[in-house]
Amino acid sequence: MEKIAMKKKFRIKKSKPNRSFGGDLGINFILIFFGLFMAFPLVYAINSAFKPLDEIFIYPPRLFVRNPTMNNFQDLLVIMGKSWVPFTRYLFNTVFITSLGTAGHLLIASMGAYVLAKYEFPGGKAFFNLVVVALMFSGYVTAIPNYLLMSKIGWVDTYWAIIVPSFASPMGLFLMKQYMEGVPDVLIEAAKIDGAKEWRIFSRIVLPVVKPAWLTLMIFSVQGLWNTRASNFIYSEELKTLPYALQQILAGGIARAGVGSAVSLVMMTVPIAVFIIAESNILETMASSGIKD
């Protein structure tokens, strides 16, 4: 009797009934090992942002900071305060481009993806194949045709040159379409029988079901747009983006190394915050449509 009680007490709870204990252990070991390897840049970036200048160039190099200081951030503030265009303007530019670009992309790409994934109509398949193929053309070459196009439309040196093309990024449509294929047809048919119009089905039924997909897409889009330098299209100082402005600070060379690491930490915070919020929402959704085919 006692033995059984002991056994129960010390038994590690298995996540699922058909998992071997050894397998769980091995997997956790692998995850920890590679996790340390992967976490390295974050640890490094955070530590060096707080390093005083002499510790940055210490020999032998050290990963962890010894005397943490806020000097780098103070220097950054001083430099930002001296800039000709108020620094909040750069911040506004990037926030504006990122939020509008992401919102538009999510809406337009998921609308297209919905009909491509769930309905058959002439040209649909061919169009989708074209989108996948377009992913594979190197962006470096299309830069010049793109520039010519923008100058024809008159969008050079405006936000639109960055925002509008980002609406139609092929990766977003591809991701949404792939994910929407998993939405059960019964769900849509049931809504149709209840008399729902396409737009209603799309916005009220399909979008909530594919929440993990559009949150993931939001992460990609924010990450991309937030780091856009846009140096191809934007020349006016007051329209320049934050990464562009910060890059100008870094051009100060080795004396700015401390400020540089503060800059990279500041630039990282927004995408990481968006990422953490979105990802914890993704992991909360438990897929159970309640419908069995």
Partner 1 sequence: MSVLKSYIQIKKRNASISWKIAKKSKTYYLFLAPYATLFFLFYVVPVVVSVFLSFTYYNVLEPAEFIGFQNYINLILADDVFLIAVKNTFLIAVITGPIGYLAAFLFAWFINELPRYLKAFAVVIFYAPTISGQVYLIWSIIFSGDAYGYINAFLLNLGIINEPVLWLTNPQYMLTVVIIVTLWMSLGTGFLAFVAGLQGIDQSQYEAGYIDGIKNRWQELWYITLPNMKPMLLFGAVMTITQSFGVADVPMALTGFPSTDYATQTVVTHLIDYGSVRFEMGYAAAIATILFITMILCNKVIQAFLRRVGT
> Cβ 3 to partner 1, closest distance in Å?
28
User: Which helix or strand (DSSP H or E) is residue 192 part of?
Assistant: helix 185-193
52 counts as binding partner 1 under rule CB under 8 A: no
Decide: is 42 part of the binding site for partner 1 (CB under 8 A).
Answer: yes
80 lines the binding site for partner 1 (CB under 8 A)? no
Task: Determine the Cα angle at 102 with ends 101 and 105, to 5°.
Answer: 85
Q: How far is the CB of 290 from partner 1 (least distance, A)?
A: 9
With binding defined as CB under 8 A, does residue 97 bind partner 1? no
Least Cβ distance, residue 173 to partner 1 (angstroms)? 6
Q: Is the peptide bond before 60 cis (omega within 30 degrees of 0)?
A: yes
Nearer to partner 1, 77 or 107 (CB): 107
Residues in the chain, how many? 293
Note whether 290 and 224 are within 8 A (CB). Answer: no
Taking CB under 8 A as the rule, does residue 212 contact partner 1?
A: yes
Per CB under 8 A, which of residues 215..244 are in contact with partner 1?
215-216, 219-220, 223, 227
- d(CA 1, CA 12) in angstroms, rounded, equals 19
**Main-chain dihedrals φ then ψ at residue 99, nearest 5 degrees:** -70, -45
Residues 157 and 234 sit within 8 Å (Cβ to Cβ)? yes
Q: Which amino acid is at 8?
A: K
Q: Which of 6, 19, 25, 255 binds partner 1 (CB under 8 A)?
A: 19
Q: In 3D, which of 257, 291, 293, 278 has the Cα closest to residue 212?
A: 278
Residue among 182, 186, 189, 235 that touches partner 1 (CB under 8 A): 182
Taking CB under 8 A as the rule, does residue 286 contact partner 1? yes
Cα–Cα distance for residue pair 197/113, rounded to 1 Å: 17
Least Å from the CB of residue 291 to partner 1: 9
Question: What would the x/- binding string for partner 1 be over residues 140 to 159, using CB under 8 A?
Answer: xxxxxxx-xx----------
Q: What amino acid is encoded at 292 in this protein? A: K
Q: How far is Cα 142 from Cα 139, in angstroms, rounded to an integer?
A: 5
User: Which of 25, 78, 186, 276 lies at the binding interface for partner 1 (CB under 8 A)?
Assistant: 276
186: contact with partner 1 by CB under 8 A: no
Least distance (Å) between residue 237 CB and partner 1: 23
107-136 positions binding partner 1, by CB under 8 A:
108-109, 111-112, 114-116, 119, 121-124, 127, 130-136
